[in-house]
Amino acid sequence: MTQFIIICVYLALLLILGVVTSRMFKGTAADYFLASRGIGSFLLLMSLFGTTMTAFALVGSTGESFREGIGVYGMMASWSGIVHSACFFLVGIKLWSFGKRFGYTTQIEFFRDRFESDKLGIVLFPILVGLIVPYLLIGVMAAGVTIERSTGGAFPNIFAGHGVGPAAIPAGAIPFWLGSAGICLVVLIYVFFGGVRGTAWANAFQTIVFIVLGIVTFSVISDKLGGAKAATEMVLKDNPHVMRRTVREDDPLTRYHGDQKVYQKKMTAWESKPEDERGPKPDEVHKPEGISPLHFLSYMFIPLSVGMFPHIFQHWLTAKSAKSFKLSVIAHPLLIMLVWVPCVLIGAWATSAVIEGKPVIPYGFSNPNAVLVKMVSTLTSDGLGGLLTAGILAAIMSSLDSQFLCIGSMFTNDIVAHYAGRDRFTDQQKVLCGRVFVVLIVAGTYALAQLRPGSVFTLGVWCFSGFASLFPLVFAAVYWKRATRAGAYACVLTAAACWWWLFAKSGYGAGAQFLFMGMMPVATIVGASTAALILVSLATKPPSAETVERFFPRRK
């Protein structure tokens, strides 16, 4: 019940913030979609950081560290620090400038103009929307599951428990359909009334919440484990491989062997049953193998996705001035460090933490993404558990809101206004149209999430890869005069074809650790799309002098 009350208080605060920010709304389309291009340095930093850091930053970083060790920080966090800031500095400021000069609201408007092709928008639109939808689903589903798992016992007379084993839902828990509906409704309200300004303020609040709670959680957990030094010593004794990126022959691998024992027991029980009574076969235990240097290096391509995320583009355009970007460029790597280092350490400690002779994370615990929540629920109070749940929801919602609004903006501007004629609609009609699309998208995502397509979680990294594969397009668009319309089509189609080919080769996302030539598939796709862009551009007619002068003016 405590956790439920804390979640309710948190959501109520968000709604109040939504109401306050909606009073700043000026009633114009430019204000709804772009906050009248008036967002200053601090809000821009918070909204960019909150949008790029999903729930993965809290629960995923802990889970991956638990599974693979501290090397995940170098693969995911420090690369992101370097590359995200590069995207903000080298691409974001330029796009902001074009947006302000030529009145763009969406990426597709820019690409249509830069590459002198209306149809390029038709090719890009389904790809961009198609890559965002799985993300939305992941967010809504993660929110529903988080609430369901953290509110057990709140309403035992209304909601019955169900399921068995680690996946069991305790009696009284807010069911998935209701929890996810609540989150969708709260996000919908502040996006509907406040537009992008509402999301910027909500993101600022939520980002502060999850940064602070991450640090508090770290401090309390290390205290409960007898101090940070004691927690690290337990790891060095039992599972030292998670503190480096290799596995040695003489490593004790205590967790792996403990997991194996549980697995053998489960297998024996599974095999002893008649075939028609057997449930699903128990999952095999992941054997630590270390991280290869090539695998580690190829992660550098993943954060390039930030350069092509439509929702990040929209946030860039909200900036008040070019100078507003400075704080984001500098502070973004620091904020990543602040969130990731404590979570990665908690994940490593979780492999070996023992209290009163019992492992805090029991052997056979098969869901790495639940490690942080398990650590908190075992080692801390209900109050901190509730606050951490609020922090996880904050991280989820701070990405969801921008994505909902951005798809609404794309439908309104790239489809309805573009094809019906911009002058046909008044500003109020465009705002209404944007709001209607946001409602439809939220409702559609909620309905799809109720089907609970489990495989959607494995699609996350493929979505990132898809956006990263299109990065050469945006980079060439702002820096290479010679990039042509045909080159742009070649880049997009090659990225799509190559992405699909590797996606199929991975068993449609079934292999969570799928590597191609020892690297993340994104490395190959980015290479192919870049080559296609360059070769086809050089072989085709250059853009018109008018376009070159427009996007590459000779400055005084």
Partner 1 sequence: MRIFVYFLIVLLAIVHQDFWWWDTEKPLIGGVVPIGLAYHALVSLAAAIFWGLAAKYCWPHDLDDDDAITAGNEGAAS
Nearer to partner 1, 93 or 474 (CB): 93
Nearer to partner 1, 115 or 159 (CB): 115
Q: Nearest approach, Cβ of 33 to partner 1 (angstroms)?
A: 9
Which of the stretches 110-118, 303-311, 469-477, 506-514 binds partner 1 when contact is defined by CB under 8 A?
110-118
239 binds partner 1 (CB under 8 A): no
548 binds partner 1 (CB under 8 A): no
Residue with tokens 């309104």: 412
User: Which CA distances in Å does 421 have to 219, 224, 325, 326, 548?
Assistant: 57, 63, 33, 37, 26
Among 322, 355, 451, 512, binds partner 1 (CB under 8 A): 322
Give the contacts of 358 (CB within 8 A, at least 6 positions apart).
Answer: none
Nearer to partner 1, 321 or 450 (CB): 321
302 binds partner 1 (CB under 8 A): no
Token digits for 230? 């004691």
550 binds partner 1 (CB under 8 A): no
Nearer to partner 1, 119 or 248 (CB): 248
Give the contacts of 157 (CB within 8 A, at least 6 positions apart).
Answer: 172
Backbone angles phi, psi at 308, to 5 degrees: -120, 0
Nearer to partner 1, 219 or 264 (CB): 219
Nearer to partner 1, 324 or 389 (CB): 324
User: Which CA distances in Å does 118 have to 148, 353, 399?
Assistant: 46, 58, 29
Give residues 387-446 in contact with partner 1 (rule: CB under 8 A): 413, 417, 422
User: Which CA distances in Å does 143 have to 27, 137, 177, 189, 259?
Assistant: 31, 10, 10, 16, 28
Q: Nearest approach, Cβ of 264 to partner 1 (angstroms)?
A: 30
Give residues 277-296 in contact with partner 1 (rule: CB under 8 A): 293, 296
Q: Nearest approach, Cβ of 387 to partner 1 (angstroms)?
A: 24
Which of the stretches 337-345, 383-391, 394-402, 468-476 binds partner 1 when contact is defined by CB under 8 A?
337-345
Question: What are the DSSP E strand ranges found in 271-366?
Answer: 354-355, 358-359
Nearer to partner 1, 224 or 320 (CB): 320
Q: Following CA atoms 380, 383, 388, 394 in sequence, which dihedral angle do they give, to the nearest 10 degrees?
A: 180
Nearer to partner 1, 2 or 78 (CB): 78
Residue with tokens 């558990």: 385
Question: What are the DSSP E strand ranges found in 212-278?
Answer: none
- What's the half-sphere exposure (Cβ side, CA atoms, 13 Å) at 197? 23
Give the contacts of 434 (CB within 8 A, at least 6 positions apart).
Answer: 29, 32, 33, 195, 405, 408, 409, 412
Which of the stretches 202-210, 228-236, 371-379, 524-532 binds partner 1 when contact is defined by CB under 8 A?
228-236
Nearer to partner 1, 188 or 336 (CB): 336
- Is 196 in contact with 315 (CB distance < 8 Å)? yes
Which of the stretches 42-50, 52-60, 109-117, 501-509 binds partner 1 when contact is defined by CB under 8 A?
109-117
Give residues 67-96 in contact with partner 1 (rule: CB under 8 A): 70-71, 73-74, 77-79, 81-82, 85-86, 89, 93-94, 96
Q: Would you give the distance in Å from CA 90 to the centre of its chain?
A: 22
From 330, 312, 403, select the one nearest 41 (Cα to Cα).
330
527 binds partner 1 (CB under 8 A): no
- Is 25 in contact with 31 (CB distance < 8 Å)? yes
37 binds partner 1 (CB under 8 A): yes
Gap between the Cα atoms of 37 and 239, Å rounded: 51
Q: Nearest approach, Cβ of 229 to partner 1 (angstroms)?
A: 5
Among 45, 59, 234, 336, binds partner 1 (CB under 8 A): 336
Give residues 340-359 in contact with partner 1 (rule: CB under 8 A): 341, 344-345, 348
220 binds partner 1 (CB under 8 A): no
From 359, 351, 353, select the one nearest 62 (Cα to Cα).
351
Q: Nearest approach, Cβ of 297 to partner 1 (angstroms)?
A: 6
Tell me the three state secondary structure of residue 251. coil
Q: Nearest approach, Cβ of 503 to partner 1 (angstroms)?
A: 27
297 binds partner 1 (CB under 8 A): yes
Residues of the chain by 3-state class (helix, strand, coil), percent to 5: 75, 0, 25
Burial of 510 from C-beta contacts in 10 A (0-12 / 13-18 / 19+): exposed
Nearer to partner 1, 58 or 91 (CB): 91
Gap between the Cα atoms of 387 and 12, Å rounded: 14
Q: Would you give the distance in Å from CA 93 to the centre of its chain?
A: 22
- Is 120 in contact with 487 (CB distance < 8 Å)? no
Q: Nearest approach, Cβ of 485 to partner 1 (angstroms)?
A: 15
Nearer to partner 1, 23 or 555 (CB): 555
238 binds partner 1 (CB under 8 A): no
Rg (CA), the chain: 24
Q: Nearest approach, Cβ of 429 to partner 1 (angstroms)?
A: 12
Among 41, 47, 105, 318, binds partner 1 (CB under 8 A): 105
Nearer to partner 1, 100 or 452 (CB): 100
Gap between the Cα atoms of 371 and 369, Å rounded: 6
User: Which CA distances in Å does 81 have to 10, 177, 272?
Assistant: 29, 36, 51
Tell me the three state secondary structure of residue 455. helix
Nearer to partner 1, 234 or 442 (CB): 234
Q: Nearest approach, Cβ of 228 to partner 1 (angstroms)?
A: 4
Contacting positions for partner 1 (CB under 8 A) = 28-30, 36-37, 70-71, 73-74, 77-79, 81-82, 85-86, 89, 93-94, 96-97, 100-105, 109-110, 112-113, 228-229, 231-232, 236, 240, 243-246, 248, 293, 296-297, 300, 320-323, 326, 329-334, 336-337, 341, 344-345, 348, 413, 417, 422, 555
